Amino acid sequence: MSDQLEKILKKSMFTLGTFIEKVIGKAKEVKVQTSIRSGVQPILSVESLMDYPKLKELIDLSVNKIMERYIPDLSGKTTLELGEGPAAYGSKLLARQAELAVAVEIGGGSVGRQGDISRGYIVRSTAQALPFPAESFSYLLARMATPIQGDLSRALSEMGRVLSRGGQGVLVDYHPFGLYTKRGSGKLRPADSMVRRFEDYYRICKAANLRVVDVREVFVDETMRGQFASEEIQAYRQLKGTPLLIFIFFYKSKK
């Protein structure tokens, strides 16, 4: 290669590199200006904005609000609640005239005794290996928005097994489009979770002989503002309008 050609190439590469740097720099500048004008902030995960006790507080509040409206009349029915301990809905299910209310504490975090509590029973187990015969319950409430949910497909398979024909239930889970961390040790949903989008719930339920009949979503909205202390308002503003939970209502065919 001649010295002249080498000089031309070096000059061309320098000019091209300088041009690209200017374009990238300009793009970054425009992005920053746009963010400032629109008030857009960097997207942070739920886990980075609040600790788990605060998130659980929001989850429990949301589940209570939805289930107050959607627990049906349970006259003469046997019911099963699954969730991170302690059991939360036994009294509510019995208040809807359930004949029997059983709660499985999948985390074993409760200090309550196992056994009979006013026609309600508390059992410590896992959602993936429920210690009950097939078709034991006619209504099921699964509070699975917890970091100890385990394999959700296996859990739903067990729910389908213990739910009687004609029975119904609801699965509560982290919203698949929520701002939850997708990777790393701090993520709430298990690394091997098969849920990535809405369609996955239909597929997993179908495999468990359950038919999805309704879906409800909960977003972080103005009604939750009061749950944030003054020093937590920035986290609330970051999360406002984002999905928090999904409720999958299902039914087991009589055939």
pLDDT digits (tens, 9 = 90+) for 128-156: 999 999 999 999 999 999 888 889 999 99
From 7, 20, 47, 15, select the one nearest 189 (Cα to Cα). 47
Q: Residue 15 — very low, low, confident or very high, per pLDDT cuts 50/70/90?
A: very low
CB 182 within 8 A of CB 250: no
Q: Is the pTM of this model over 0.75?
A: yes
| Residue 34 in this model has a pLDDT that exceeds 70 | no
**Burial of residue 192, with CB atoms counted within 10 A of its CB: 0-12 exposed, 13-18 middle, 19 or more buried:** exposed
Q: Nearest Cα to 79, choosing from 91, 68, 93, 65?
A: 93
On the question of pLDDT at 29 being above 80, the answer is no
Dihedral sign computed on CA atoms, order 105, 193, 227, 248? negative
Q: How much is the average pLDDT of 4-31?
A: 39
Cβ-contact 138, 108 below 8 angstroms:
no
CA distances (Å), 162 to each of 61, 168, 175, in order?
28, 11, 25
CB atoms within 10 A of CB 52: 14
- Which pLDDT value is given to residue 150? 86
The predicted structure's pLDDT at residue 107 = 73
* Mean pLDDT score, 164-171: 97
Q: What is the mean pLDDT of the chain?
A: 80
CA distances 222 to 47, 191, 196, 217, Å, are 20, 31, 27, 15
- CB distance 250 to 206 below 8 Å: no
Position 113 confidence tier, pLDDT thresholds 50, 70, 90: low
More confident residue, 115 or 145: 145
| pLDDT (average), residues 64-83 | 95
**43 band by pLDDT with thresholds 50, 70 and 90:** low
pLDDT at 117 over 70: no
The more confident residue out of 4 and 190 is: 190
102 by Cβ neighbours in 10 Å (0-12 / 13-18 / 19+) ranks as: buried
Stretch 78-83: mean pLDDT: 95
The pLDDT assigned to 45 comes to: 86
